[in-house]
């Protein structure tokens, strides 16, 4: 399980059951229990359901991480508590 904070991180949707958000890239500006709110390079806000996606977090080699979104369910505080 990923316990880090996603707000402020760049993400890309690598896989999704919703084809409208597949390959979406942007900056996470908010996170709820079930959603990530992402702002795209064109300044469009998109709500990404965590339970249906696989994400790449970070775009530099040392920070690049692939995460199953279902492992992110809950708030960051909940994930840290374990």
Domain extent listing, the chain: 10-81
Length of the chain: 82
Given this structure, which CATH class describes domain 10-81? mainly beta
pLDDT digits 0-9 by tens, 10-63: 999 999 999 999 999 999 999 999 999 999 999 999 999 999 999 999 866 666
The DSSP H or E segment spanning 10 is: strand 10-16
- Identify the pLDDT of residue 78: 76
- Identify the pLDDT of residue 59: 66
Strands (E), 17-81: 25-31, 35-39, 45-49, 53-57, 65-68
Contact (CB, 8 A) for 14 and 25: no
pLDDT digits 0-9 by tens, 59-78: 666 667 899 999 998 887 77
- Count of helices and strands (H, E) across the chain: 1, 6
């Amino acid at each position: 399980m990923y316990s880090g904070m996603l707000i402020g991180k760049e993400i890309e949707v690598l896989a999704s059951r919703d084809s409208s958000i597949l390959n979406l890239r942007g900056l996470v500006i908010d996170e709820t229990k079930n959603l990530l709110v992402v702002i795209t390079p064109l300044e469009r806000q998109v709500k990404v359901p965590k339970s249906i996606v696989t994400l790449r977090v970070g775009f530099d080699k040392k920070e690049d991480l692939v995460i199953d979104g279902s492992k992110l369910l809950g708030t960051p505080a909940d994930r840290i508590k374990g």
